[in-house]
Structure 1
Amino acid sequence: MATALSLSTLSDMPDGVAVPGYARSDLSAGILHFGIGNFHRAHQATYLDRLFATGEGQDWAILGAGVMEGDRKARAVLQAQDWLTTLVEQEATHSRARVIGSMVGYLEPGDAAAITAALADPAIRIVSLTITEGGYFLDSSDRFDPTHPAIQADASTPDAPGTVFGLILAGLRLRREKGFAPFTVMSCDNIPHNGRITRNALIGLAELSDPALAAWIAENISFPNGMVDRITPATSDRERGMLESDFGVRDGWPVFCEAFTQWVLEDDFPSGRPPLEKVGVQFVPDVSPYELMKIRILNGGHAVIAYPAGLLDIHFVHEAMEHPLIRAFLAKIEHDEIIPGVPPVPDTDLGAYYDLIASRFSNPKIGDTVRRLCLDGSNRQPKFIVPSIADSLARNGSVTGLALESALWCRYCYGTSESGAEIAPNDPNWDRLTRIAKAARDDPGTWLGMEEVYGATGRDARFASAFSEALEALWSDGTEAVLTSYIDGRL
């Protein structure tokens, strides 16, 4: 019979399940975190758990907070198990389970008074976020959108905030009134320049209701940029069942993830920080080279394998990597067209980094889906693929593979796989994309006319010609034949 996770059962955990190497009673909160989800618990919370086990930094435990309705259910599940989480790290040949204990509480979601009071507590020296890209209120150009209804609501009633940024402003306002030092605001979301994005959102909201506070924030608050990486699928009954059957633990919300993890962070914490460098965090003056490497090679690589796999009705990412044509397509496009445009990264071999990425994509234990990789192409393509196209054009390099990747995305958005199966809507702009993809079957240039995706790159004659040839070949010959032509150098 499985052991239910709680503080009282830690000593009864089955053999092979690691438990916190410290007493929870020795911890105190120093970080208030918005967005207690799977990635946060697999990443930031896990690094802190490792640090606490060394006997250091134990005044930097996590106090959770949230504003979404779904946060209430998450809080209830975690509260029932004393804020503990079982983390299962999965490699191809074996898995490891450990209990993470770095979170010491979770404020009632939506309780603005309680959250504001916690933010004003001088013991809180870092406020961190994993609220997904949508939580930053960005427009189509990735700029802060002050017209968003939720932002307008917080601007008109700053004493009754409903967004994360409204709550942070309320906490900072109270801290300033009391003469307490400000905290650092640290985004842990997988967004390029996440510190700058966070700064723009917080100051942008403040300018709408309290320009003096906005100026004070600009002068006094630090927003370090960070690059985060760990493949962490959503939890389902599959994972809960695997935890019980494989490890003998019953956890209402376990986290399954890959063994690999990386966190590169700018060292800009005026109010102090935990010594996370002792557990593997890389502190650097500028995170930009690491961000660019990950965006181009990893995120761009995801896009490369996603659409041919989707068109071939492949379900899991590791199954896509088992397909010899998709794996070879990824390798050729990375080495010939993507990696040559990535500037040098300190202490990093880009070829070895790609080999690591390919190995991670191939992990059969993760259960990451092709459909997830295909999601939201209208937002991801201009970030992860189009910049590589522009760079390759600028250095007069090949764009044949990148044009084929774009054509595969277009063909996917037509709405049917090669077997004739319907592809369910998989983008916020799906209806529009499908309409344009159908028009592009006869006029490929229609697809490149999406200015918000391709910009000037879509008007480049060399890229447009390569795209048209690839799309026409996909319709006439099919995905596998076209991949073969590209790999053999005949496309």
Structure 2
Amino acid sequence: MAQKLSLSTLASLPDQVATPAYDRDALRAGIVHIGVGNFHRAHMAVYLDQLFSLGEGHDWALVGAGIKSFDADRRNILLDQDWLTTVVELAPGNLTARITGSMIDFCEIDLAAIIARISDPAIRIVSMTITEGGYFVDAATGGFDLNAAAIQADIAAPASPQTVFGVLIAGLATRRAAGAPPFTILSCDNLPENGHVTKQAVLGLANAMDAELGAWIEQNVAFPNSMVDCITPATSAREREMVATQFGIEDGAPVACEPFRQWVMEDNFPQGRPALEKVGVEFVADVLPFETMKLRLLNAGHAALAYPAALLGHTYVHDAMADPLVRNWLISLMQSEVIPVLTPIPGVKFEDYLAMCVERFSNPLIGDTIARLCQDGSNRQPKFVIPTITDALAAGLPVDGLAMELALWCKYCAMTADVDFGFALEDERAAQLLAAAQIVETDPAQFLSIDDVFGDMGQNPVLQTAFAGAVATLAAQGVAETLSSFAAARLG
């Protein structure tokens, strides 16, 4: 019979379950993390748990925080199990489980409580995973969207912020007024140069609120770039049942993830940092080449396989990767049009990294769904796919395959109008995407003219021609033949 996860039951869990090898009562908070989702608990929380188990960094424990209504449910579950999480690594033939104890508290879902916590000088890092779409980036300019409604609300009432950035600024303002050093702000989201994007948002809002405060933040607050990686599906009844039956643990919010994680960071932490290099984190002078490789091969790879897989009727990512049509399309696209525009990294072979991505996508135990990968395309495409198109066009390289990826996404959007299709268009711009997708065969320019997604690139005549050709090919040949022909021409 499964035992309810708590500090009192740790000692009686099965021997195969790794438990914290440190005195949890000796931990002291040093980091507040905003957005305690599955990825954070499979990634940052695991690295810290490993470090604490070495007897290191016990003053860098995590405090969770969240500003969304759904964060309250997560907080209640974790509170009921003493902030512990079961993390299962899904290696085929070798499932492993560990209980992480690196989080010792979780702020009330109350903005004032979060501001008070990050105002404490003991907190030296505030980190966050708030999704790629949470940074108020203007797609047309790449700059900060100062006109967003939530941002304008924060400017009007800085003492009652609605956004993460307003909360951060309020905490920094309190620290400044008290003469306390500021915390470092660490983004753990999948964004190109996520530290720079975070700094852009914080300074954009701060300067609009109080130019003097904005200048102080710019001079004193560090925003290190970081690259994060670990495929972590959503938790469902499947994962909860697996944890109960395989490991004898009743966990209300377990995390299942692949047996791979990577974290590359700039070493820019003026108030100190945990010695995460001792547990495999890479600290480098320039993260950009690493994160570009990951975003354009792994994240863009997910996007590239998701839409054709949905159109072919696949439910799970590993099933799609077992289909030669999807697998060969993905490999041929990455080899022919993505790898050629990547900046070389000494000691790294992009073909080997791509092969590792393909292997990771193919893991049947992950149970990642095509539907999850299809979500939020209007935020993901500008971050994972369109930058490669921009670089390829600037270099005079072909974009026929990348234009086909856009056409497959467009066809997916159009197909969601059919109730028998089996997939929904889960996107904040769903109505706009659907309207343009439904007329794409007669007016392909309408889809590319969605400025929030494509910006100026949608007006590029080379891309317009390639996209129109891809749309016509899909209409004439269908998805399967189109994928097969594309791969055959490039893989031989």
State the TM bucket, normalised to the shorter chain. Answer: over 0.9
Quote the Cα distance in structure 2 between the aligned partners of 1:344 and 1:210.
Answer: 42
Residue pairs, 1:183-332, within 5 angstroms: 183-332=183-332
Tell me if structure 2 keeps the 8 A contact 1:311–1:418.
Answer: no
The 2-side partners of 1:97 and 1:252 are apart by 15
Is it true that 1:135 corresponds to 2:139 in the alignment? no
What is the alpha-carbon distance in structure 1 between the residues aligned to residue 319 and residue 266 of structure 2?
36
1:350-398 deviation line (CA, Å, top 9, x unaligned): 1110011001110111111112222222222232222323333343433
Letter of the 2:379 partner, please give it: N
Using the TM superposition, give the Cα deviation of residue 458 of structure 1 relative to its aligned residue in structure 2, in angstroms.
4.4
Q: Which whole-Å deviations, capped at 9, do the CAs of 1:438-482 have from their partners, x for residues lacking one?
A: 222124344334455445554555544443333222222211111
More off after superposition, 37-46 vs 143-152: 143-152
- TM-score under structure 1 normalisation? 0.94
Match of 1:126 in 2: 125
- For the residues of structure 1 that align with 2:161 and 2:19, how far apart are their CA atoms? 38
Tell me the equivalent position of 1:481: 481
Counterpart amino acid of residue 388 in structure 1: T
* Residue of structure 1 in register with 2:49 after alignment: 49
Change (3 A) 1:449 1:76: closer
Q: 1:170 to 1:448 in 2, by over 3 A?
A: closer
Deviation at 1:35, TM superposition (A): 1.3
Partners of 1:419 and 1:206 in 2: how far apart?
46
**Residue 247 to residue 293, structure 1, CA distance change in 2 (3 Å):** same
Alpha carbons 1:116, 1:167 under 8 Å: kept: yes
1:18, distance to aligned residue in structure 2 (A)? 0.7
Partner of 2:88: 88
2:152 match: 152
Partner of 1:379: 379
Shift of 1:210: 2.2
Q: Which amino acid aligns with 1:280?
A: G
> Compared with structure 1, are the counterparts of its residues 174 and 242 closer, same or farther at alpha carbon in structure 2 (3 Å cutoff)?
same
Secondary structure at the residue paired with 1:212? helix
Amino acid at match of 1:149: A
Match of 2:178 in 1: 178
CA distance in 1, matches of 2:18, 2:95: 12
Which of 68-77 and 391-400 deviates more? 391-400
Alignment partner of 1:315: what SS? coil
> 1:361: which partner in 2?
361
User: Which amino acid counterpart does residue 188 of structure 1 have in structure 2?
Assistant: C
Listed one character per residue, the Cα deviations across residues 82-135 of structure 1 (whole Å, up to 9, x for unaligned) are: 1100001112232111000001111111150x3333222221111111122343
Does the C-alpha gap of structure 1 residues 392 and 45 become closer, same or farther in structure 2, counting only changes over 3 Å?
A: same
CA distance in 2, matches of 1:410, 1:87: 36
- The one-letter code matched in structure 1 to 2:474 is L
Q: 1:446 to 1:203 in 2, by over 3 A?
A: closer
User: In structure 1, what is the Cα distance between the partners aligned to 2:460 and 2:115?
Assistant: 51
CA distance in 1, matches of 2:154, 2:451: 32
Select between 328-337 and 447-456 the one with higher mean Cα deviation.
Answer: 447-456
How far 1:422 sits from its partner (Å)?
5.5
The alignment partner of 2:472 has SS state of helix
For 2:335 and 2:29, the matched residues in 1 are separated by: 45
1:25 maps onto 2:22 in alignment: no
Tell me the distance in 2 between the aligned counterparts of 1:460 and 1:185: 36
So what's the TM-score if we normalise by structure 2? 0.94
Determine the structure 2 residue equivalent to 1:16. 16
Q: Indicate how the Cα distance of structure 1 residues 120 and 420 shifts in structure 2: closer, same or farther if over 3 A, else same.
A: closer
Matches within 5 A, 1:52-91: 52-91=52-91
Match of 1:115 in 2: 114
Contact 2:139/2:454 (CA < 8 Å) preserved in 1?
no
Take 2:401 and 2:214, find their aligned partners in 1: how far apart are those partners?
A: 46
Aligned identity (percent) is: 51
Question: CA RMSD, aligned part only?
Answer: 2.2
Partner Cα separation in structure 2 for residue 124 and residue 410 of structure 1? 45
**Which amino acid counterpart does residue 166 of structure 1 have in structure 2?**
G
State the secondary structure of the residue aligned to 1:348: coil
What is the identity, as a one-letter code, of the residue corresponding to 1:133? E
Matched, 1:398 2:386: no
Change (3 A) 1:146 1:442: closer
- Distance (whole Å) between structure 2 residues aligned to residue 392 and residue 204 of structure 1: 30
State the shift of 1:337 in Å.
Answer: 1.1
Cα 1:76–1:310 change in 2 (3 A) is: same
Q: Secondary structure at the match of 2:117?
A: helix
Distance 1:461 1:215, change over 3 A: closer
Q: Compare 28-37 and 144-153 and name the one that shifted more.
A: 144-153
AA at the equivalent of 2:174? L
Q: Is this contact kept in 2: 1:43–1:261, CA < 8 A? A: yes
5+ residue gaps in structure 2? none
Contact 1:311-1:416 within 8 A present in 2 as well: no
d(CA) in 2 for partners of 1:74 and 1:423?
27
Which letter does structure 2 place at the counterpart of 1:209?
A: M
Structure 1 residues 49 and 485, CA, compared in 2 at 3 Å: closer, same or farther? same
> CA 1:127 to 1:416, structure 2 compared with 1: closer, same or farther past 3 Å?
closer
Q: How many residue pairs get matched?
A: 490
